[in-house]
Amino acid sequence: MKLSKSEEELMNHLWRMEKAVMKDLIEAYPNPKPAGTTIATLLKRMQDKNFVDYKKLGRSREYFPLVKKDAYFSKHVNGLIKNFFNDSASQFASFFTKETDLTKKELEDLKKLIDSEIKKK
Protein backbone atom coordinates (compact mmCIF):
# COMPACT_ATOMS: atom_id res chain seq x y z
CA MET A 1 0.00 0.00 0.00
CA LYS A 2 1.14 3.50 -0.77
CA LEU A 3 1.18 6.67 1.30
CA SER A 4 0.22 10.11 0.03
CA LYS A 5 2.87 12.83 0.00
CA SER A 6 1.56 14.36 3.24
CA GLU A 7 1.35 10.92 4.87
CA GLU A 8 4.96 10.20 3.81
CA GLU A 9 6.09 13.48 5.35
CA LEU A 10 4.40 12.60 8.64
CA MET A 11 5.72 9.03 8.46
CA ASN A 12 9.28 10.37 8.02
CA HIS A 13 8.90 12.34 11.25
CA LEU A 14 7.59 9.24 13.02
CA TRP A 15 10.38 7.02 11.66
CA ARG A 16 12.94 9.53 12.89
CA MET A 17 11.36 9.80 16.35
CA GLU A 18 10.39 6.09 16.58
CA LYS A 19 7.41 7.00 18.78
CA ALA A 20 5.66 10.29 19.43
CA VAL A 21 2.59 11.96 20.85
CA MET A 22 0.56 14.42 18.77
CA LYS A 23 2.35 17.48 20.24
CA ASP A 24 5.77 16.09 19.23
CA LEU A 25 4.58 15.34 15.70
CA ILE A 26 3.22 18.86 15.22
CA GLU A 27 6.44 20.33 16.60
CA ALA A 28 8.47 18.34 14.06
CA TYR A 29 7.00 20.40 11.20
CA PRO A 30 8.43 23.74 10.12
CA ASN A 31 6.28 26.86 10.34
CA PRO A 32 3.50 27.23 9.44
CA LYS A 33 2.68 24.07 11.40
CA PRO A 34 -0.28 21.95 10.35
CA ALA A 35 -3.40 21.88 12.51
CA GLY A 36 -3.76 19.08 15.03
CA THR A 37 -6.91 17.95 13.23
CA THR A 38 -4.91 17.56 10.01
CA ILE A 39 -2.30 15.41 11.76
CA ALA A 40 -5.06 13.39 13.46
CA THR A 41 -6.72 12.74 10.08
CA LEU A 42 -3.42 11.66 8.52
CA LEU A 43 -2.67 9.37 11.47
CA LYS A 44 -6.12 7.77 11.21
CA ARG A 45 -5.65 7.13 7.47
CA MET A 46 -2.17 5.72 8.11
CA GLN A 47 -3.58 3.51 10.87
CA ASP A 48 -6.26 2.23 8.46
CA LYS A 49 -3.45 1.37 6.01
CA ASN A 50 -1.56 -0.46 8.82
CA PHE A 51 1.41 1.89 8.75
CA VAL A 52 1.05 3.21 12.31
CA ASP A 53 -0.55 2.25 15.57
CA TYR A 54 -0.69 3.77 19.02
CA LYS A 55 -0.84 2.92 22.67
CA LYS A 56 -2.75 4.93 25.24
CA LEU A 57 -0.71 7.00 27.68
CA GLY A 58 -3.25 8.43 30.08
CA ARG A 59 -5.38 10.73 27.94
CA SER A 60 -2.81 10.85 25.12
CA ARG A 61 -1.88 8.46 22.37
CA GLU A 62 1.72 7.52 21.63
CA TYR A 63 2.05 6.70 17.94
CA PHE A 64 4.65 4.35 16.49
CA PRO A 65 5.40 2.98 13.00
CA LEU A 66 4.38 -0.55 12.05
CA VAL A 67 6.37 -0.45 8.80
CA LYS A 68 10.14 0.01 8.73
CA LYS A 69 11.48 2.83 6.59
CA ASP A 70 13.87 0.60 4.61
CA ALA A 71 11.06 -1.88 3.83
CA TYR A 72 8.83 0.95 2.54
CA PHE A 73 11.67 2.49 0.53
CA SER A 74 12.69 -0.88 -0.93
CA LYS A 75 9.15 -1.56 -2.11
CA HIS A 76 9.05 1.87 -3.77
CA VAL A 77 12.38 1.42 -5.53
CA ASN A 78 11.41 -2.04 -6.75
CA GLY A 79 8.12 -0.62 -8.07
CA LEU A 80 10.00 2.16 -9.80
CA ILE A 81 12.34 -0.35 -11.45
CA LYS A 82 9.40 -2.49 -12.53
CA ASN A 83 7.24 0.36 -13.86
CA PHE A 84 9.81 2.66 -15.43
CA PHE A 85 12.80 0.44 -16.26
CA ASN A 86 11.15 -2.69 -17.69
CA ASP A 87 11.86 -4.57 -14.46
CA SER A 88 15.58 -4.21 -15.20
CA ALA A 89 17.87 -3.21 -12.34
CA SER A 90 20.65 -2.71 -14.92
CA GLN A 91 18.60 -0.12 -16.81
CA PHE A 92 17.86 1.62 -13.52
CA ALA A 93 21.54 1.59 -12.51
CA SER A 94 22.55 2.93 -15.92
CA PHE A 95 20.02 5.75 -15.67
CA PHE A 96 20.95 6.49 -12.06
CA THR A 97 24.68 6.75 -12.73
CA LYS A 98 24.30 8.80 -15.92
CA GLU A 99 21.44 11.14 -15.02
CA THR A 100 22.31 12.02 -11.43
CA ASP A 101 25.10 14.38 -10.57
CA LEU A 102 27.30 11.89 -8.73
CA THR A 103 30.87 12.86 -7.96
CA LYS A 104 33.78 10.60 -8.87
CA LYS A 105 34.09 9.64 -5.19
CA GLU A 106 30.41 8.74 -4.97
CA LEU A 107 30.74 6.58 -8.09
CA GLU A 108 33.83 4.88 -6.62
CA ASP A 109 31.94 4.24 -3.36
CA LEU A 110 29.06 2.80 -5.36
CA LYS A 111 31.47 0.55 -7.25
CA LYS A 112 32.94 -0.71 -3.95
CA LEU A 113 29.45 -1.45 -2.70
CA ILE A 114 28.61 -3.41 -5.86
CA ASP A 115 31.92 -5.29 -5.75
CA SER A 116 31.22 -6.21 -2.13
CA GLU A 117 27.77 -7.54 -3.04
CA ILE A 118 29.24 -9.54 -5.93
CA LYS A 119 31.71 -11.21 -3.54
CA LYS A 120 28.86 -12.20 -1.22
CA LYS A 121 27.05 -14.04 -4.02
List of residues 6+ apart from 65 with CB closer than 8 A: 11, 14, 15, 18, 51, 52
**Domain of residue 96, residue span:** 69-120
Is the bond leading into 32 cis (omega within 30 degrees of zero)?
yes
Asked if pLDDT for residue 49 goes beyond 80, the answer is yes
State the pLDDT confidence band at 30, using cuts at 50, 70 and 90.
Answer: very high
Give the per-residue pLDDT at 99: 86
Using CA atoms, how far apart are residues 62 and 24, in angstroms rounded to an integer?
Answer: 10
Residues 76 and 51 reside in one and the same domain: no
For residue range 62-100, list pLDDT tens digits in order.
999 999 999 998 888 888 888 889 888 888 888 888 888
CA dihedral of 11, 12, 15, 20, whole degrees rounded to 10: -70
Domain shared by 57 and 73, yes or no: no
Based on the fold, state whether residues 74 and 105 are members of the same structural domain.
Answer: yes
| pLDDT top residue among 17 and 78 | 17
The predicted pLDDT at position 47 comes to: 96
Our count of domains for the chain comes to: 2
| 60 and 79 fall within a common domain | no
Taken in order 110, 115, 120, 121, the sign of the CA dihedral is positive
Q: Are residues 33 and 61 in the same domain?
A: yes
Residues 86 and 59 in one domain: no
